[in-house]
């Protein structure tokens, strides 16, 4: 508490000083704390209450250490070497709230920050940092009943192997052995994999909290790999849907329906995906109107009324994105769908871009609307 007051006074002093400087830079509050995504016991990277991030990397003989932050991360941050052999630096400005991928460039090579946990994105395990969001409560780990996230290995003839998926089973699933549940198939984005929605997205905690509040029906969520490695970023239009569609529709869904207590029909099956996973969702739901009853694209494009062949099949179309993306595209598409008689809903996440806070919030808005 005292430390906070001192930090505040120090900040006031800094702000005062800034008035006399030629630029009108905001003072950086010295209330930095370790990021919640640090490896156990690691003090750095740190984040302050304004959303600035500070990095500290040991590399005494290095010539240059740079931090590359993704979208919303203000580009790069060059670190400066201190006498102790540690390179430190603070972002030039506050970052967007939520999760950001990043990596280090050390003497021309790409490495991860040894202080941070790793998250699969950009077709590699990247470092991750979390800027606490003002609404972070909805994905926080709370003292509520928790569902499980089950790793399954399902047989896939088309790819000649056992493939991995994760299945979220809601609280109570283990106990009430007669109850059957609807299922949401939820896809990651380009360069990510089946771990993304749990690790970066906290999908399980979002559902645990919604269910505890009585705001969502309990349902299963199935997350598997969208085979995105087969396509390079920038050549995403060349992506062929068939191999993944076969795995999902002909192999995974029958396996889940045979091995979990599911309601195995269209009106109890939803598909959603973020970014490239939205592209996959759109194509597969249109190709297979008898398989899914609820469609959702999160920062992943829109549906036009023309492409939906049979109006009676789509019970809900949910489109979302961040306000820093193209929210008008989403809003206009939903207007057009509504005019054409569809049950369509749009959601725009305020002050976020093409990043995971947009998708955490989107799932939080989507879940209560499913299977009603």
According to the binding rule CB under 8 A, does residue 61 interact with a second copy? yes
Per-residue burial over 186-211, b if 16 or more Cβ lie within 10 Å, else e, is: bbbbbbbbbbbbbbbbbbbbbbbbbb
Please report how close the Cβ of residue 95 comes to a second copy at its closest, in angstroms.
23
> What is the nearest approach in angstroms of a second copy to the Cβ of residue 106?
6
Q: Minimum distance from CB of 173 to a second copy (Å)?
A: 9
In whole angstroms, what is the distance from residue 191 CA to residue 26 CA? 35
Residue 281, phi then psi, degrees to nearest 5: -60, -45
Task: Closer to a second copy by CB, 31 or 193: give it.
Answer: 193
39/335 with CB nearer a second copy: 39
Q: Which is nearer to a second copy, 108 or 341 (CB)?
A: 108
Cβ distance to a second copy smaller for residue 61 or 312: 61
The helix (run of H) or strand (run of E) holding residue 111 is strand 109-111
Q: Which tokens belong to 350?
A: 């305020």
158 binds a second copy (CB under 8 A): no
Strand, helix or coil for residue 3 = helix
Handedness of CA 326, 327, 330, 336 (dihedral sign): negative
Peptide linkage before 45 cis (omega within 30 of 0): yes
Cα(183)–Cα(262) distance, integer angstroms: 7
Q: Is 107 in the site for a second copy (CB under 8 A)?
A: yes
Judged by beta carbon, residue 40 or residue 234, the one nearer a second copy is 40
Question: Closest by alpha carbon to 162, among 273, 255, 291?
Answer: 255
Considering only residues 15, 25, 26, 229, which one is a binding residue for a second copy as defined by CB under 8 A? Answer: 229
Single residue of 43, 84, 174, 339 touching a second copy by CB under 8 A: 174
Dihedral (Cα; 323, 324, 328, 331), 10-degree rounding: -30
Question: Of 206 and 308, which has the nearer Cβ to a second copy?
Answer: 206
| Binders of a second copy in range 285-324 (CB under 8 A) | none
Residue 174 CB, shortest distance to a second copy, in Å, is: 5
Does the protein bind a second copy through residue 259 (CB under 8 A)?
Answer: yes
- Residue 43's CB is within 10 A of a number of other CB atoms, namely 12
Range 111-130, binding a second copy (CB under 8 A): 111-112, 114, 117-118, 123-125
The sign one gets for the Cα dihedral 253, 257, 262, 266 is positive
Tokens of 306: 């023309």
CB 136 within 8 A of CB 99: no
The nearer residue to a second copy, 257 or 350, going by C-beta atoms, is: 257
- Of positions 19, 22, 40, 306, contacts a second copy by CB under 8 A: 40
Where on the chain is the footprint of a second copy (CB under 8 A)?
A: 39-41, 57-64, 85, 104, 106-112, 114, 117-118, 123-125, 141-143, 146, 148-155, 161-162, 167, 169, 174-175, 177, 198, 204, 208, 229, 259-260
């Amino acid at each position: 508490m005292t430390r906070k007051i001192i930090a505040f006074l120090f900040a006031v002093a800094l702000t005062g000083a800034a008035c006399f400087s030629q630029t009108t830079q905001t003072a950086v509050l010295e209330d930095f704390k370790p990021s919640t995504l640090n490896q156990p016991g690691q003090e750095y990277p740190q984040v302050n209450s304004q959303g600035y991030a500070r990095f500290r990397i040991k590399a005494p003989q290095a010539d240059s250490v740079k931090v590359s932050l993704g979208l919303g991360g203000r580009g790069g941050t060059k670190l400066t070497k201190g006498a102790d052999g540690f390179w430190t630096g603070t972002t030039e400005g506050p970052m967007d709230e939520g999760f950001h991928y990043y990596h280090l460039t050390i003497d021309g090579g790409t490495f991860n920050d040894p202080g941070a946990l790793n998250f699969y994105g950009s077709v590699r395990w990247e470092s991750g940092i979390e800027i606490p969001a003002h609404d972070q409560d909805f994905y926080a780990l709370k003292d509520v009943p928790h569902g499980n996230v089950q790793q399954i290995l399902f047989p896939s003839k088309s790819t000649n192997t056992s493939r991995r998926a994760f299945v979220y089973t809601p609280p109570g699933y283990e106990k009430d052995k007669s109850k059957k549940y609807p299922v949401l198939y939820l896809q990651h984005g380009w360069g990510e994999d089946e771990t993304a929605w749990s690790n970066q997205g906290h999908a399980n905690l979002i559902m645990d909290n919604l269910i505890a509040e009585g705001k969502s029906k309990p349902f299963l969520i199935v997350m598997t790999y969208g085979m995105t490695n087969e396509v390079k970023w920038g050549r995403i239009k060349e992506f062929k849907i068939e191999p993944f569609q076969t795995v999902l529709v002909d192999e995974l869904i029958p396996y889940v329906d045979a091995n979990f207590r599911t309601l195995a029909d269209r009106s109890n099956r939803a598909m959603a995906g973020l970014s490239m996973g939205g592209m996959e969702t759109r194509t597969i739901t249109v190709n297979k109107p008898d398989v899914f009853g609820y469609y959702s694209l999160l920062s992943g494009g829109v549906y036009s009324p023309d492409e939906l062949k049979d109006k009676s099949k789509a019970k809900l179309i949910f489109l979302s994105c961040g306000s820093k993306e193209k929210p008008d595209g989403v809003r206009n598409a939903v207007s057009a769908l509504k005019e054409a008689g569809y049950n369509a809903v749009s959601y725009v996440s305020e002050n976020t871009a093409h990043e995971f806070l947009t998708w955490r919030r989107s799932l939080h808005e989507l879940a209560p609307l499913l299977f009603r």
